[in-house]
Amino acid sequence: ISLKNDNVELSAKGNQASLKLTFDNGIPDRDNSNATINARVTIPESEEGRSAGAFVEIMPSAFTIKGKDWQIHPATIAYDGSATSISHFKLQQELQLLTVDGTISDRITDTLNMRMQDFDISMADALMAEPLGLKGSLTGNGKAVALLADDYGMLMSLKGKGIAIKNGKKIIISQE
d(CA 83, CA 168): 38
Enter the pTM of the model: 0.76
Cα 51 from chain centroid (whole Å): 25
Angle at CA 99, nearest 5°, toward 117 and 76?
165
- Flag whether pLDDT at 139 surpasses 80: yes
Q: What confidence category does residue 15 fall into, taking pLDDT thresholds of 50, 70 and 90? A: confident
Cα 125 from chain centroid (whole Å): 14
Angle at CA 79, nearest 5°, toward 74 and 85?
55
- Tell me what pLDDT residue 170 has: 47
Going along 14-104, which residue ranges are E strands? Answer: 16-24, 34-42, 54-58, 61-65, 68-72, 75-79, 84-93, 96-104
pLDDT one-digit tens code per residue, 97-133: 999 999 999 999 999 999 999 999 888 776 676 777 8
d(CA 89, CA 75): 5
pLDDT one-digit tens code per residue, 49-65: 666 688 999 999 988 87
* Contacts (Cβ under 8 Å, ≥6 apart) of 108: 145, 146, 149
- Tell me what pLDDT residue 26 has: 59
- Tell me what pLDDT residue 6 has: 65
Give the chain's radius of gyration (CA, Å).
18
